[in-house]
Amino acid sequence: MRALKRFGAEGIALLGAAVVFLVPFSFMLLTAVKDPLQSADLDFSWPNEWRAVQNLLEVIEARDYVLLRAYLNSTILTVVSVTLIVLFAAMAAFVLQRRAGRIGSLANFLVLAGLIIPPAIVPTIWLLQAIGLFKTLPGLILIEVAFHLSFAVLLFRAFVAAIPRELDEAAQIDGCTGLALFFRVIFPLLRPVTVTVIVTSSVAVFNDFVNPLYFLPGDDNATVQVTLYNFQSQYSTQWNLLFMDIVLITIPPLLLFIFFNRKIVAGMTAGAIKG
Amino acid sequence: MVTQQEAGPRTVPGPALPRPHARRNAAYPYGLYLPAAVVYLVIFLVPTAMAFYFALTRWTLFDSTFVGLDNFRDFFAEQNLRAGFANTLVYAVLTSGLKVVFGLLLGVLLTSRLRLRGFLRSVVFFPVLVSTVAVGITFSALLRPDTGLVDKTLAVVGIDGPDWLGDAGTALLSVALVDVWKGVGLATVIYIAGIMSIPRDYYQAVAVDGGGAWHRFRHVTLPLSWPATYSVIILSLIGGLRSFDLIWTMTRGGPGFTSDTIASIIYKQYQAGFFGLSTAGNVILFVVVTAVVVPLNRFLAKRQVTS
């Protein structure tokens, strides 16, 4: 009887989660393979005609292969930004955790400020224009690095706290200080949290829509998120192509999720609670 | 080991060694801050500081004329803009409240002895990783009147569903619910960690005293997952106050201006070329976020210590 009751509860929980979380994703997939006419109904129905390959090709060819360029741009943006975020944040977090003092508390304050303060957008555009980086990929990379540093520093700092200082002392005796101490001893030990930072910040940068919208407008520089607007217009929207595009840009986060699911959750929780 | 080796050179006459304190710090040079500091200073702090000046000007990006507080006066004099101010607060409070409630419930459910626990955890967390714009477009379709899945389902049980995004009364609420759908996975993960760090002994104590599931929740899980609640509230309030992409994708601030928030107004004014006004919006957003988050953070942190 009890077993039966538990089985029932599990069934309900599973059903609830399936309806609430899986239905929207199946809707995306179904609409992505419909023909233009049926997809315009935007209902939850079985496709009359499966056009997966044709829709895929049309999305890729649209606007002179803008999606491929966007994929290239997004990949460069994500890889470079995340590399810099990891390096810069880990170094800063290391000193921040190990060394107290007035500069340390100022840095601490700035990290928190970076988490709370919304970026001032038009002045940032003005500044990028002044240094000649507005509407360029390097400009957007710097933006992503600056905006995501704080969170990464917090995650790293919580983790550095768990590395015993005796290790630093032992390394110092062997003549390692500063950069050498960091890169040879500390950074390799940070690997678990580094994975977390890589995953969370690459998802954030890859999925970012707001910053490319402001700081990197134009078809040549499109990132994948911005391509979603190609298939939408005020008068007619090609719904099947739009949803095929959605499916395509959801693939990279899906892959990350499949490979790192456990690690993301473990690392996030460590950072969120201890931090 | 350590002391022996350090004792070595001290017997040799020569220049005094630096104080141990100073030597310890030398291993952690401030230089390691440098790359982060430069990027952060130039790209983030300088524009933030300049915003306070440009908010007081009529500004074309090349020329600026000082106009004093005119932009702020315009901002609060125009009804649409004032509505955006109120919407921002409603949106943030609503989303973070719901994320606390659902995150806690899901957290309790997904730390219980459910056989499908692992699968459910993944299912709930996945939307966190999907792009907000994709989520917004998908739900705009699901929430359409008549043909959308939500209204069709409601029709089955005889309810005539509203035009979720097209009706001034429900637009902001609908977007907020989608925000909760997307973000509750993160809240759940934070709660799972919080609940799992509660020592088992407390639950055993409740069992010894003859308490049931409700007692376990009310007297152990709820108070002891406080640090998680604290993180969820702060994170989702900050996110909610700054939220832009979901609102922009789903309603463009409409119908009319009924779901505009400060962040969407900043974008609209920027698009229209009113750079000074847009920046004034930024300063207002800055003030609102600071005024809400900083005192709340202090208050919650204090409660955390005493509980």
| Contact state of A126 with B54 under an 8 Å Cβ cutoff | yes
Mean pLDDT confidence for B35-41: 95
pLDDT of residue B24: 67
Please, which pLDDT band fits residue B2 given cuts at 50, 70 and 90?
A: very low
Lowest-confidence segment of B5-19, B178-192, B239-253 by average pLDDT: B5-19
Please, which pLDDT band fits residue B255 given cuts at 50, 70 and 90?
A: confident
pLDDT of residue B5: 44
pLDDT of residue B9: 45
Nearest to B144 among A42, A89, A207 (CB): A42
Which residue of A lies nearest to B124 if distances are taken between CA atoms? A21
Higher pLDDT, B151 or A139: A139
Contacts of B41 (CB under 8 A, 6+ apart): none
Q: Is the pLDDT of residue B19 over 70?
A: no
Mean pLDDT confidence for B189-215: 88
pLDDT of residue A264: 66
Mean pLDDT confidence for B201-212: 88
| Contact state of A265 with B192 under an 8 Å Cβ cutoff | yes
pLDDT of residue B307: 47
Mean pLDDT confidence for B114-138: 87
Which residue of B lies nearest to A102 if distances are taken between CA atoms? B30
Lowest-confidence segment of A127-131, B116-120, B209-213 by average pLDDT: B116-120
The reply to whether B220 touches chain A by the CB within 8 Å rule is no
Lowest-confidence segment of A10-19, A245-254, B124-133, B203-212 by average pLDDT: A10-19
Tens-digit pLDDT profile for residues A163-193: 898 998 899 888 888 888 999 999 999 988 8
Q: Is the pLDDT of residue A3 over 70?
A: no
> Best of A98, A116, A185, A200 to disrupt the B interface by mutation (most B CBs within 10 Å)?
A116
Contact B279, B267 (CB under 8 A): no
The reply to whether B137 touches chain A by the CB within 8 Å rule is yes
Nearest to B39 among A119, A142, A181 (CB): A142
The reply to whether B132 touches chain A by the CB within 8 Å rule is yes
The reply to whether B117 touches chain A by the CB within 8 Å rule is no
Which residue of A lies nearest to B62 if distances are taken between CA atoms? A126
pLDDT of residue B263: 93
| Contact state of B46 with A127 under an 8 Å Cβ cutoff | yes
What is the percent of chain B where pLDDT is above 70?
Answer: 91
Closest approach of A193 to chain B, Cα-based (Å): 16
> Best of B129, B180, B196, B262 to disrupt the A interface by mutation (most A CBs within 10 Å)?
B129
Which residue of A lies nearest to B115 if distances are taken between CA atoms? A10
Nearest to B131 among A181, A207, A265 (CB): A207
Pairing of strands B64-66, B57-59: antiparallel
Rg of the Cα atoms in chain B: 26
pLDDT of residue A188: 93
Mean pLDDT confidence for A183-208: 91
Please, which pLDDT band fits residue B65 given cuts at 50, 70 and 90?
A: confident
Q: Is the pLDDT of residue B53 over 90?
A: yes
| Contact state of A268 with B135 under an 8 Å Cβ cutoff | no
Please, which pLDDT band fits residue B197 given cuts at 50, 70 and 90?
A: confident
What is the percent of chain A where pLDDT is above 90?
Answer: 46
Tens-digit pLDDT profile for residues A35-74: 888 888 888 888 888 888 899 998 888 888 889 999 999 9
What is the percent of chain A where pLDDT is above 70?
Answer: 92
Higher pLDDT, B10 or A112: A112
Closest approach of B176 to chain A, Cα-based (Å): 15
Q: Which residues of B touch A147 (CB under 8 A)?
A: 44
Q: Which residues of B touch A225 (CB under 8 A)?
A: 131, 133
Closest approach of A119 to chain B, Cα-based (Å): 7
Contact A31, A42 (CB under 8 A): yes
Contacts of B114 (CB under 8 A, 6+ apart): A9, A10, A13, B120
- CA distances in angstroms from A149 to A14, A32, A81, B31, B104, listed in the order given: 38, 36, 10, 17, 29
Q: What is the pTM of this model?
A: 0.87
pLDDT of residue A275: 38
> Best of A27, A74, A121, A124 to disrupt the B interface by mutation (most B CBs within 10 Å)?
A121
Mean pLDDT confidence for B44-53: 94
Q: Which residues of A touch B138 (CB under 8 A)?
A: 24, 27-28, 243, 246
Mean pLDDT confidence for B83-102: 94
